[in-house]
Amino acid sequence: MANPDSAPFRVASIGLGRWAKVIGDGATRSPRLQIVSCFTRDADKRAAFAGSYGCRQAESLEALLADSEVEGVMITTPNDTHADLIIRAAEAGKHVYTEKPISNSIEDAYRIVDACQKGGVRLAVGHSARQLGPVRKIRQMMEDGTLGDVSLVEANFSNDRGLELTPDRWRWFKDKSPGGPLIQLAVHHVDTLQGLFGPIQNVSAQLRRLYTSAEVDDLAVLICSFERGPVAYIGTSWSTAGVYSINVYGSGGAAFYQADFSHWSAGDTDSYSSLQFQARDSFERRPVTFEQVDMYRAELEDWADAARSGRDPEVSGPEATSALAVVWAAIQSSETGQTVTVQQRDSA
């Protein structure tokens, strides 16, 4: 039986690697969620996770999905496994949180969305960067007219993970991580910017494999045109320092946002971030205050509230599929040397 709305939303974790702990920690920082079970095929990892989070160990995926106490599952497995796991969870009537991207392929993303709709479950996709305090503040600065009419956006999300890849890691392989940092890092910016400025209409991109010994590319540069008019540059590299930045240029002035990537996993990123504003008639960049948000806790609470109330989470299947469509348009553009129109799913 479902718990009363006043009780914590009871969840189980599937896939117990490094990122499962990041998301698990986010859940434990909220009184509105409770981890009650977990599963991975490795028995030692199951035991370690269960010991850390005070939850049960499911002996199989089937047993976890049959557990009536589990209301939702948190999936942090490799990208190419998302579809089958989400569809099985939806068929079992479990609400789903999955890490981004929603899947590796557009076809699998459609299957996921359809299965969750058919199962009557709420799907949230972990594009957590939308929750960041400076992103929310930039939205407010757009809405209150501070930025004026936006024409240009610059965004970069980079780190050195491509230099660390080895063949025993799934991100090494092109079929498991197409686009390398594009699908792992820059997809965050794609989602965030579409949340701020609306759908991206077309993309011109270049992807390169320069310094990694893996199969995947380690560099992507995108020029994106939004349906409403603005143009964005999105850059990502897997062979440099950790960088997360968004600069927004409007007729009223420009906003400059930077986050310390070394704090990306802890939930306190906003404590190590800066947001500045330069008015159109000034050379001074002045600090802008913003509400600090624990992005992992916030996205999980949004999912839990959506599941209990029957509404859609802020980033559900359609939003995540749209971001993935931009990724694949960029890959196609790089392969063909042409500007590619983003294919959005027919809402009919």
Angle at 139 between CA 270 and CA 329, to 5 degrees: 95
Residue 88 gets which letter from DSSP? H
pLDDT at 218 over 50: yes
Contact 179, 259 (CB under 8 A): no
For position 96, what pLDDT does the model report? 98
Per-domain residue ranges of the chain: 9-128+298-314, 129-293+327-341
- CATH T-level fold of 129-293+327-341: Dihydrodipicolinate Reductase; domain 2 (3.30.360)
Contact 29, 55 (CB under 8 A): no
Q: Assess whether pLDDT exceeds 70 at residue 141.
A: yes
Q: What is the CATH number of domain 9-128+298-314?
A: 3.40.50.720
User: H-helix or E-strand containing 322?
Assistant: helix 317-336
pLDDT digits (tens, 9 = 90+) for 62-86: 999 999 999 999 999 999 999 999 9
Rounded Cα distance between 347 and 62, Å, is: 33
Looking at residue 344, its pLDDT comes to 81
H or E stretch including 206?
strand 200-208
When pLDDT is cut at 50, 70 and 90, the band that residue 1 belongs to is: very low
Q: Is the pLDDT of residue 348 over 50?
A: no
- Interatomic CA distance for residues 18 and 48, integer angstroms: 12
The pLDDT of residue 139 is above 60: yes
Query: pTM value?
Result: 0.95
Q: State yes or no: pLDDT of 87 exceeds 60.
A: yes
